[in-house]
Amino acid sequence: MTDVNPKGNLGPIIGIVSHPSDGASGRLNDDSHVSYIAASYVKFVESAGARVIPLIYNEPPEILQTKLNLINGVLFTGGWAKKGLYTEVVEAIFKHVLKRNDAGDHFPLFAICLGFELLTMIISKDDKILERFSGSHHASTLQLMKNISIEGTMFQRFSADLLGKLSTDRLVMHHHKYGISPERFQGNINLRNFFKILTTSTDKDNKVYVSTVQSHRYPVTAVQWHPEKNAFEWGLSMIPHSDDAVQVAQHFANFFVSRGYDEVYIFTENFARI
C-alpha cells in the first residue's frame, strides 16, 4: 500500500480570480467594488479533486500576494472586463506565474474565454490585436492542428474515439464576441514564440479562429471556449450536455489540476492564516 503524504491531502489549491460585478448584471448590487466567481468554475476545479480559494481582484495587494504564495495554480475566468484594475491584476498574476516557473516551481495557469483574450493582448503587447467574431451562444467542434503531437497536452488522455469526435461533433460551448485568427496569431512574433496553437474553431459565419493554445515552455493553457459549462451550467440552450461533451470538460479539468500536484508539497499549514 502506498503511503499517503499528509501535505498531499491538503491540495492542490487553485486560485480563481474574481470578475468585476455581482454576476447578475448589477441586479443584486450596484456597488462598483463588488466582484464574483461563477459557481461553475469552482465546480469545474473541484470535480478534478482540487480545492479553491478566491483571488479577489480588488482586495489589498498584500492579501492577494499572500494567497498567491500559498496556492498551486491559477484560473482566469470568462467575462467582459478588458481595462482598468482588473486587467492590471490579471497581468500581474500572469507575471507571477512566469516568475514562479522560472524559479523552478511548477505553477500552472488555465485561462478561459476572457482569460484567453487577455493573455493574447498581454503577450502580444497589442491591446487591439483581437478581432470580431460571431461566437456568442454557439456550440462548435475543435479542429486539431495538423502534424501536432498531443503528448504533453490536455488531449493526451482522450480516447481515440473521443479525439475523433472533437472534429465532427459540437462538443464545446463558445460565448464570445472577440477572438484571433490563426493568421493574425502567427503574425505576432510574441504570440507564436510563447504559444503553440492546438485547435481552431469556426464561428456562426464560418470564420476560423484560434480556440486552444498551450505554452511552449510554461504550464500555461488557454481556451476560447467554456469547458466549465458542459457539466455545470444550464442557462444557455446551446451548451452541450452529452456524455461526450462532459468527458471533454472533465479531461481538461483533470489535466489542469494534475499539473498543480507538482506544487502540492510546498503547501504549508500557513494557508489557515489567510
Q: Which residues contact 217 (CB under 8 A, 6 or more apart)?
A: 194
Active site residue 226: yes
Q: Considering 19, 113, 175, 251, which one is annotated as catalytic? A: 113
Hunting for cell 505554452 — which residue is that?
215
- DSSP SS3 for 171: coil
- State the angle between helix axes of 39-46 and 243-260 in degrees (0 to 180), rounded to the nearest 10: 70
- The dihedrals phi and psi of 184, each to the nearest 5 degrees, come to -70, -35
Spatial separation of the C-alpha atoms in residues 154 and 43, rounded to whole Å: 19
Q: C-alpha angle with apex 96: 95 to 98, nearest 5 degrees?
A: 65
Q: Considering 138, 174, 175, 226, which one is annotated as catalytic? A: 226
Contact yes or no for 248/162 (Cβ under 8 A): yes
By annotation, the residues acting in catalysis are 113, 226
